[in-house]
Structure 1
Amino acid sequence: MNRATPSPVVVEYWCEAQCTDCRASLDDLRALRARYGDALEIQLRHFPLDKHAHAYAAAQAVEEAFAQGQGWPYLEAVLARAEELGERGEPLLTEIAGKLGLDAEEVDTALVDGRHLLIVDADQAEGRAIGITGTPTYVVGGIRLDGGDGQEGLRERVEQLVDEALRA
């Protein structure tokens, strides 16, 4: 008897790379990955906020880092320096890329040529369409959990939804 491997439960993680609340939520993502392993797929979705001048460029740089195979480490490194990103802007994005061993020149070129604009624009439009107003926000099985108003109890609620999906 051949059993197919069940599809992982998908958690959409709506993030903004200049958001300090998103930086704080990284611990929750690590805990979710540790608890569920391959039974969980965390998908990064971009929702740059107008209040952060460099969030849109940062989202594009993150997409280029994914194209180079280092998306999550790059996102974490950018979030670790969110306040500095507000002060230094795009030069910091290429600096971080170089420190992680990415092709920093290619990150810079991607920001100039806009090759990842469609991904970021599509995410932002979809986020607005489903009612996202802040970050981090999680969507599990069509249920939106907004962490922009506070992180209290959010991971537990995500875990509850993932557990329900795994039982189904």
Structure 2
Amino acid sequence: MSRVTLALVALVGILAGAFGYSVLSRPAPQTDVAAVQAMIDEAIAAYDTKQVQAASSAPQPVAALDPAELNPLIESYLMSDPKILQRMSVALDTTLQAEERSQATTAIASMRDAIYNDPGQVVLGNPDGDVTLVEFFDYNCGYCRAAVPDMAALLAEDPNLRIILKEFPILSNESIDAARVAVLVGEADVDYWSFHEALFTSRSQVDKQVALNAAADLGLSPVALELDMGAENVAKTIQTSYEIAKALNITGTPTYIIGNEIIPGAIGLDELKTRIANMRECGETQCES
């Protein structure tokens, strides 16, 4: 392979990084001719340096590449197949997604017991379901509030789904107080989902008093709950959620875990159903077509 061809290959990679775009997320930016020329010159200089260094132990000298010769070749190469940058961008996205899935798989495996078997967590739906959906939420999260109907629909329509709710109060001290009450409600013999819906349909900020009132509507003693809010087991349950979130790099709510995928944001009922169906079909949230 000639030096010109080698440089072409290297520069295509540089150009792809500079002007490539994610076909999944955003359009290509406008080409900056001056920036392109600067990168071409830099690549040529780097290539020449490497060749000169290699030539120090070689019997024959290496001639420097002439930009006037190389630049038209690069332009001709790219213009002959303008879609090459698009294909490289798609390949890059595929590689990055595979790396993300691999990292998520490793992180989830390291925290598997805490994610799926924590004694303080709330389990809804079928406790022996064939697919488990985990949600990290904050009672003052507007996106979590909007996603409650999605969870209600899944509970109603999918008898083989296991849902785990993880208290992840990150928005305010009021959220922490509400989460402490919620942990205690989760340990009581009452309908937790009714409590959950009551908090998310509250018209005011969800705080300790809102949570205590919702618990009282289920027949629990607000006084007893308030006295137990600072119990060690309550703090441990919430702390476990924080530890899982740190290990999995979860920083917002809602965040879902299905199989080996960590899904940030309220993705909607249809997307959740698709991922659950894929888990049943191929054991992954994204099946190969």
C-alpha distance in 1 between matches for 2:204 and 2:172: 10
Quote the RMSD (CA, aligned, Å).
Answer: 1.9
C-alpha distance in 2 between matches for 1:112 and 1:46: 15
Q: Which of 37, 51, 54 is 2:174 aligned to? A: 54
Q: Is it true that 1:28 corresponds to 2:150 in the alignment? A: yes
C-alpha distance in 1 between matches for 2:215 and 2:232: 17
Runs of 4+ in 1 over 6 A off after TM superposition: none
Provide the residue aligned with 1:146 in structure 2: 264
- Which whole-Å deviations, capped at 9, do the CAs of 1:70-113 have from their partners, x for residues lacking one? 3222122112226332xxx3233222211222222222122133
The answer on whether the counterparts of 2:131 and 2:162 sit within 8 Å (CA) in structure 1 is yes
- The secondary structure found in structure 1 opposite 2:158 is helix
- The secondary structure found in structure 2 opposite 1:48 is coil
- The secondary structure found in structure 2 opposite 1:42 is strand
Greater relative contact order (Cα 8 A, min sep 6): structure 1 or 2?
1
Superposition map of 1:102-141 within 5 A: 102-141=220-259
The CA deviation at 1:119 is: 0.6
Provide the residue aligned with 1:165 in structure 2: 279
The answer on whether the counterparts of 2:129 and 2:162 sit within 8 Å (CA) in structure 1 is no
C-alpha distance in 1 between matches for 2:188 and 2:166: 17
More strand by share: 1
Structure 2 stretches lacking a partner, 5+ long:
1-127, 283-289
Provide the residue aligned with 2:136 in structure 1: 14
- The secondary structure found in structure 2 opposite 1:84 is coil
* Normalised TM-score (structure 2): 0.49
The CA deviation at 1:66 is: 1.0
The size of the alignment, in residue pairs, is 154
Superposition map of 1:56-95 within 5 A: 56-69=176-189, 70-81=191-202, 83-85=204-206, 89-95=207-213
C-alpha distance in 2 between matches for 1:11 and 1:61: 23
- Larger Cα Rg: Structure 1 or Structure 2? 2
- Which whole-Å deviations, capped at 9, do the CAs of 1:94-136 have from their partners, x for residues lacking one? 2221122222222212213343110111012101221211111
Q: Is it true that 1:156 corresponds to 2:277 in the alignment? A: no
C-alpha distance in 1 between matches for 2:278 and 2:231: 43
